[in-house]
Structure 1
Amino acid sequence: MISPLRSVTPSDAADVAALFDAARLRQARRLSSKTKQALAIDVGVSPAAIGQYESGVIAPRPEVVTALASALDVPVRFFATGRPLAPLDTSDAHFKSLRSTTAGQRNKALAYTEQVWELTHLLERWIQFPTVNLDIDSWSGLTRDRVRARSAAEKLRSAWGVSLDGPFPHLTRTAEANGVVVVFASFASDDEVKRISAFSTSKLSRPIVVTPPDRVDDVFTHRFNLAHELGHFVLHEDGVHGDIEIEREADRFAGELLMPEKPMRTLLGPRVEWDRLAKLSQVWGVAIKSLIFRSRQLDIISDASARRAYQRLETMKSSGLIKPSPTARYEGEMPVLLKRAYEYAESQGADIASIAAELAWHPARVRELLRSGDERPKLTALL
């Protein structure tokens, strides 16, 4: 059993006030989606005081520390210094839907990712995670031209042992096997983060991709979003986050990774044949809409044909003929890295309570971050 917070064990609010970590207050407030003004009202201080606490100008009094913990739903000792922390800001992450999100939504996502890293960092005490195999430095130097995305996608397939001409099986599991942490973010059920489709960062000790659960109701959407974020990792380490051209290039990379040009030119015909597209969708793990787009991108069909196909596709979706396929049905697309790391830690004597104590979180928070896999109950016996 691990002993919680060996270096710092504050016994009450007075001790925590003496060891107050301003960055922890900022993290907790961002996770709660509270403004400084809203938190100030909850706690009974001025917004200026909250700003001073977060900037480290002054530390809150013990009674204020207790009130902050209550308002932000964290243990009092959450605010004590002495634990690993990797602060992120907007320039450290790629948001697939940056322009449709608010600063508060992005800050909440960033704070969540910080905690994903903290849990990962702690679990690495028991188990060696897969080596990160992205080779960002060499790929980011590719010449920025129209074949750059294709070259990077081919290099990634080769590096990960995937055929250049066939479907990309189990994208999520393969990414995890190459050191990428993939998480389905439980916070995304909140209305304020519904617009976030996916985001990622490569600024920490290992790359992390976070996807809200409502975006994984369709496995094809999830696979494309993950491929998009992988494109950022291999092409845009130093790019301007949110730049429209960078986002377009990440989309091109995703298309090339999941639908390589050579086989697509053979498989996609000059006529939009729906039965063919439906079969290709299942075999290649991409949406029918993506196949239509790829057909147009490769000049296999005309703009007019593509427009008609999109219209017909929406009609078929509206009538229920084409329905999304939940990611949970596809084992290889469900993230398991953190869950399996915890299972090993558990075999060595750790448990949810002890890990929560070390992180100074509520146990429910640890469970949330480990709940990235398929939570459906398993049928173990028929009789």
Structure 2
Amino acid sequence: MATIDQPMLPGTAGQHPSPRAVAGALDPARITQARHLAALTKKEVAERIGVTPAAVGQYEAGITRPGPALIPQLAEVLAVPVEFFLAGRPFGKLDSSMAHFRSLRSTKLYQRARALGVAGQVWELAHALERRVQLPLVDLPGFAGGEVHPGAELSRDPVQAAQELRSYWGLGEGPISHLVRRLETKGIVIAHPDGIDPLAQSVDAFSTSQLPRPLAVLTKNRCDDVYRFRFTAAHELGHLVLHSDAAPGDSTHEREADAFAAEFLTPRNSLAPLLPRRMDLAGLAELQRTWGVSVDSLIYRCRELGLISDATASRTYKRLNALRGSPGFTPPSVSEYPGEQPVMLRQAFELAAAERSLTIAELAHELAWRPARVEEILGVGDPRPLLRLA
């Protein structure tokens, strides 16, 4: 779980502590975090700084410390400032038992480790901003600052839990617009950092309730389809309210999160009367736009509610596949839906910048990150392509 110590970085923004000072106040876990974020093995780090893999393992375990001469080399290889390794500042420390990942077969250990490092950084940034700006209070049944209490307020049955959460949040029985924005208003940190493209190619969305704020990272491969993105956000919400203990890759948990998401986005009592008994793709496409879920999901919902047979569903999916990419059957990008893009952290920074003159450089110094990393996670970098002149 995260530690909540106050930052203790020597010097001021633009200055760096000496390697000797860093070596004397080093947090071994920060070396591990930086290595995970860089997606490097101990062997690869060892080769680049001229030591043995065993030595790197001892540095990370806190058995021995790297000498001052190695600190700048470590920082360069791991692409962090030298002060990144210092102890004494808030640390969003997670391991693989503390987050919900979908399929473990499709991801390698180092990929999940990098994903967890990203999640930790997202929380660290949120914590730094929260020291300056009052973020929305967490309003998630069962959540109590870094853990979820099983059975607190919501049913353990995914369908019933979705119905109860809708009622608790006053969402009514109709379509939910601006889903991601609504989750942010409930104090849930949602992120899809621009700077994690390699992560997005390998790790699906994931979430954790083991930090002082519940957090979900929706990777960039989910941003090409607003319907997929919304369902993924609801799926991760299901994990947050149903599963107090993460069990990465657990098929039962994944099915429960899917069932929660389906009922949360498309309550059966409201949707069932609207679903066609004879498969009408044009009608389903209209429902897709109204309810903000994919035609695929609606076909599955028809079968799940017993309105069509498995054979009819199979034939309908085949017809749908032949139409993919056609007008009306091409899913819109998340970028076309402002209410489905996370904004809480960026707007918190903008408010702190306006009210307290906070700068990217100051925030980067406090976090001991490079400024570009702060911009990547906030999503405040210049979106224009860079013209490079030879």
Match of 1:381 in 2: none
User: Is the aligned partner of 1:226 residue 2:243?
Assistant: no
Q: Are 1:241 and 2:248 counterparts?
A: yes
* 1:149 counterpart = 2:158: yes
Instruction: Say whether the 8 Å CA contact 2:360–2:374 is kept in structure 1.
Output: yes
**CA distance in structure 2 between the partners assigned to 1:112 and 1:65 by the alignment:** 22
The answer as to 2:201 corresponding to 1:194 is yes
Q: Is the 8 A contact 1:183 1:372 kept in 2?
A: no
1:213 aligns with 2:234: no
Q: Percent identity?
A: 46
The letter for the 2-side match of 1:129 is L
- Give the AA of the match of 1:257: F
| Amino acid paired to 2:337 | Y
Q: Counterpart of 1:56 in structure 2: which amino acid? A: G
Cα displacement string for residues 299-330 of structure 1 (whole angstroms, at most 9, x for unaligned residues): 01100000011111111116676212100111
The alpha-carbon distance between structure 1 residues 279 and 133, as it changes in their structure 2 partners (threshold 3 A), is: same
Q: Match for 1:32 among 30, 38, 52?
A: 38
**Conservation of the 8 A alpha-carbon contact between 2:81 and 2:369:** yes
Q: 1:43-122, aligned counterparts within 5 Å?
A: 43-122=49-128
Name the TM-score, length of structure 2 as normaliser: 0.90
Q: 1 CA distance for matches of 2:328 and 2:321?
A: 10
Report if the CA contact (8 A) 2:92-2:119 is conserved: no
The offset of 1:160, in angstroms, is 1.7
Gaps of 5+ in 1: 378-383
Residue 380 of structure 1 corresponds to none
In the alignment, the residues of structure 2 paired with residue 157 and residue 374 of structure 1 have an alpha-carbon distance, to the nearest angstrom, of: 38
User: Aligned residue pairs: how many?
Assistant: 369
TM-score (norm 1): 0.92
Structure 2 residue ranges without an equivalent (≥5): 1-5, 143-148, 386-390
After superposition, the C-alpha distances for 1:107-162 in whole angstroms (9 at most, x for unaligned) are 00000011111111110111111111111236467665xxx111111111122220
| TM superposition shift of 1:13 | 0.6
Are the aligned partners of 2:224 and 2:332 in contact in 1 as well (CA < 8 Å)? yes
Instruction: Return 216-225 or 5-14, whichever deviates more.
Output: 5-14
- In the alignment, is residue 277 of structure 1 matched against residue 295 of structure 2? no
Q: Deviations over 1:2-37 (max 9, x none)?
A: xx9556446211111111110110000000000000
Aligned counterparts, 1:151-190, within 5 A:
151-163=160-172, 165-190=173-198
Alpha-carbon offset, residue 86 of structure 1: 2.5
Distance (whole Å) between structure 2 residues aligned to residue 266 and residue 201 of structure 1: 36
- Asked whether the 8 Å contact 1:130–1:178 carries over to 2, the reply is yes
Tell me the distance in 1 between the aligned counterparts of 2:34 and 2:123: 15
d(CA) in 2 for partners of 1:133, 1:317 = 39
Distance in 2, Cα, partners of 1:375 & 1:274: 37
* Structure 1 vs Structure 2 CA RMSD: 2.1
Distance 1:256 1:5, change over 3 A: closer
Is the Cα contact below 8 Å between 2:296 and 2:317 reproduced in 1?
A: yes
Q: 1:365 aligns with which of 351, 365, 373?
A: 373
Q: For the structure 1 residues 212 and 119, does the alpha-carbon distance in structure 2 shift closer, same or farther, using more than 3 Å as the test?
A: same
